[in-house]
Amino acid sequence: MYSLKGKTAIVTGAGSGIGRSVALLYASEGANVTVSDINVQEGEETVKLIREAGGEAFFVKADSSSPEDNEALVAATIERYGGLHIACNNAGIGGPAAPTGEYPIEGWDKVIAVNLSGVFFGMRYQIPAMLNSGGGAIVNMASILGSVGFAMSPAYVAAKHGVVGMTKNIALEYAAQNIRANAVGPAFILTPLLKDFDEDTFKWLESKHPIGRLGQPEEVAELVLFLSSDKASFINGSYYPVDGGYLAQ
C-alpha cells in the first residue's frame, strides 16, 4: 500500500517503542532500514525482528546527541545501501521533572542535546545524502508538547517546540530540491519512556486523553509511514498530532 521498495531509511532510537515500530513498518513495505540506537542489544533485536519477517536491516550504534555519530551513521548507511531516501529522527529522552526555577542545569543540557540538537545533527548529515539520492522524506518525532506546555517539563517542552520549528525550516529550504519534512506529535504512548510511572500516574495520564487510554507505538508508526511515502507527496512542513484527542481540550 505504501511501497518503499528500493528506498533506504534511517530510524534513530529504533531499539524500542515508537522507533522499533517505525523500523518494522518501513521494512515491511520494502525499505532497507538502518536501525540506530545507543542500546546495542535492543537495536540488534529490532534488526532480528525485521530479518525474521523477511526484511532487510542492519544496526549502527549511535548517540543522537553526537554530531560525529550522526555523520558516521549516514556514512555507514550509504556504504551499505548506496543512498538515503527516508529518515525518522525519533531518538529522545524524558528528562527530570522540576519547575523551571529549580530545573537542574545538567538535565536541561542533556534533554536539549538529545531531543533538539540530536534532530539537527541528524538532518545536518541526512540532507546532503538525500540530495545526492535525488530527494527524500524526513519525519521528526516531536510530541503534543511541541505545541502546548506541560508543568515540570520545561526542557522537554522547549526541545519539542524547537523540533516543530526546525521541521518547518527544512520544508522552506529544501522543498524545491525534492526533500519533504514533517513532524509527528504523539501524546503519551506505551513505551519504555513511561516505565518508571506508578499506577496512579498512569491512570491520571489516561484521564488526560479523551479516547480513554494511552497510545500504542504502532499507531504512531502508521502515520510516520504515510508521511514517509509518496502518498504524502504534497505534505510538507506540517505537524501532525497522534493524541487520542488530547489537544482538542
Q: Give the residue numbers marked as catalytic.
A: 156
* β-strand partners of 141: 184
Contact 27, 34 (CB under 8 A): no
CA distance 190 to 193: 8
> Strand order of the sheet with strand 56-61?
56-61, 32-37, 8-11, 86-89, 136-141, 179-186, 239-242
- Look at the block and give the residue holding cell 548529515: 125
